[in-house]
C-alpha cells in the first residue's frame, strides 16, 4: 500500500476558509491565540520548575498538561497559519502521517492526564490525611506513564491503519490539518476497518477518562456537601467548576467530531468543532487551571522579584 501511495507524494490542505477577505484577519487572530498559548504554557512550565513549593502532585500534572498543550498546539497551529497566507498549503505524505501521529499522541495524552488530575483532586478533597501516601512520587510517575502509553497506543493504532489505505488522485484535504476523518474521505479503498478503529479507540480514549472524571467529581461533590463551612464549599465548587468547563469543551468537541457518522456532521462543521480542542483549549488551560490559583500568583511574584533584583 505504501508503494501505491508513492504516486501521491503530497496533499493540499484546504484550510479553515476559502474566502480570501477573511484569511488575513484569521491569520492574525490565530497567531495571537498561538502566542498566548505558547507564553501561557511555557510560563507555567517555567514557574513550576523554578519554585520548589509547587513541586507537588497537583502541579506535577499541571506541568505535564502544559507541556502537552504546548506540543500539540505547535504540531497544528503553525501549519494552519500557513494556509492563510499561501495559495496552496502543501504537505507531503510522510509529513501528513507524522502530523497525524503526533496530533493523536498529544490529544489522547491530554484526555488521560485530565482524568489523572481529577483523581488527584478526588484524593486531596476526599482523603486529605492519606494524600501524601496515595499520591506518592512513584504513583504519580506510574499515572504519567499510563497517560503517555495510552497516547502512544491510540496514535499508533490510527496511524498504522491509515498508512494501509490507498488515496485517490484528488489530494485536497478539506481541513486545516491531517486529521482522521478528512483523510478517510480521500481514500479509494474501503475504510470500514478504519471507521471501526475510530469508534473503538476513540470510544476508549474518551469513555475511560470521562467515566473516571465523572466518578471523581461525584465523590468530590458528595464530600463537599458535607463541609460545614460555606467558604470551604465555595472554594471547592469554584475549583471544580473551572475544571469541568475545560473538560466539557475538550471532551464535548472531541465526541462531537469523532463519535458521529460523517453523514450527520459536515466537514465544515467538523473543522469548527476541532478548533476547540486544537486551538482554544490549549490557550485557556493555563488560565483556568493555574492563573486563578493563589500559589501560582505567589510563585509569579517571587520569580518577578528575583529577576528584577538580578
The answer to whether residue 292 is domain-embedded is no
Dihedral pair phi/psi, residue 35, rounded to 5°: -65, -40
Report pLDDT for 295.
73
- pLDDT tens digits along 162-189: 999 888 777 888 889 998 888 998 888 8
The answer to whether residue 291 is domain-embedded is no
The answer to whether residue 266 is domain-embedded is no
- pLDDT tens digits along 194-215: 989 988 988 898 889 989 999 9
Instruction: For residue 274, give the 3-state DSSP assignment.
Output: helix
Which tops the pLDDT comparison, 6 or 184?
A: 184
The answer to whether residue 15 is domain-embedded is yes
Instruction: Identify the CA nearest to 85 among candidates 16, 175, 171.
Output: 16
The parent domain of residue 114 ranges over 10-258+276-281
- The number of folded domains in the chain is 1
The answer to whether residue 168 is domain-embedded is yes
Report pLDDT for 264.
47
The answer to whether residue 25 is domain-embedded is yes
The answer to whether residue 305 is domain-embedded is no
What is the three-state SS of 53-104? HHCCHHHHHHHHHHHHHHHHHHHHHHHHHHHHHCCCEEEEHHHHHHHHHHHH
Report pLDDT for 65.
92
Integer distance in angstroms from the first to the last C-alpha of the chain?
60
> What CATH number did the domain enclosing 20 receive?
1.20.1070.10
The answer to whether residue 2 is domain-embedded is no
CA–CA distances in Å: residue 205 to residues 111, 115, 201, 211, 276: 7, 11, 6, 11, 17
What single DSSP character describes residue 127? Answer: -
Cell of 104: 493523536
Amino acid at each position: 500500500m505504501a508503494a501505491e501511495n508513492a504516486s501521491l507524494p503530497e496533499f493540499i490542505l484546504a484550510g479553515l476558509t476559502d474566502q480570501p477577505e477573511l484569511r488575513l484577519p484569521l491569520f492574525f487572530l490565530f497567531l495571537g491565540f498561538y502566542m498566548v498559548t505558547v507564553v501561557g504554557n511555557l510560563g507555567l512550565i517555567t514557574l513550576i520548575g523554578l519554585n520548589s513549593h509547587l513541586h507537588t502532585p497537583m502541579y506535577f500534572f499541571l506541568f505535564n498538561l502544559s507541556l502537552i498543550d504546548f506540543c500539540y498546539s505547535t504540531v497544528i497551529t503553525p501549519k494552519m497559519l500557513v494556509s492563510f497566507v499561501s495559495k496552496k498549503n502543501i504537505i507531503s505524505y510522510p509529513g501528513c502521517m507524522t502530523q497525524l501521529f503526533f496530533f493523536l499522541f498529544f490529544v489522547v495524552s491530554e484526555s488521560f492526564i485530565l482524568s489523572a488530575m481529577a483523581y488527584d483532586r478526588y484524593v486531596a478533597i476526599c482523603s486529605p490525611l492519606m494524600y501524601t501516601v496515595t499520591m506518592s512520587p512513584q504513583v504519580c510517575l506510574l499515572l504519567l506513564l499510563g497517560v503517555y502509553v495510552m497516547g502512544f497506543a491510540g496514535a499508533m493504532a490510527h496511524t498504522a491503519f491509515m498508512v494501509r489505505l490507498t488515496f485517490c488522485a484528488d489530494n485536497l484535504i478539506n481541513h486545516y490539518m491531517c486529521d482522521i476523518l478528512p483523510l478517510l474521505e480521500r481514500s479509494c479503498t474501503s475504510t470500514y476497518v478504519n471507521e471501526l478503529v475510530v469508534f473503538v479507540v476513540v470510544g476508549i480514549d474518551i469513555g475511560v477518562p470521562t467515566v473516571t472524571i465523572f466518578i471523581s467529581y461525584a465523590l468530590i461533590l458528595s464530600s463537599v456537601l458535607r463541609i460545614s463551612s460555606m467558604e470551604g464549599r465555595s472554594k471547592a465548587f469554584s475549583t471544580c467548576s473551572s475544571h469541568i468547563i475545560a473538560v466539557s469543551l475538550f471532551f464535548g468537541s472531541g465526541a462531537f467530531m469523532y463519535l458521529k457518522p460523517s453523514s450527520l456532521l459536515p466537514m465544515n462543521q467538523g473543522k469548527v468543532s476541532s478548533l476547540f480542542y486544537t486551538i482554544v483549549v490549549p490557550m485557556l488551560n493555563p488560565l483556568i487551571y493555574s492563573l486563578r490559583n493563589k500559589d501560582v500568583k505567589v510563585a509569579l511574584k517571587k520569580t518577578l522579584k528575583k529577576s528584577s533584583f538580578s
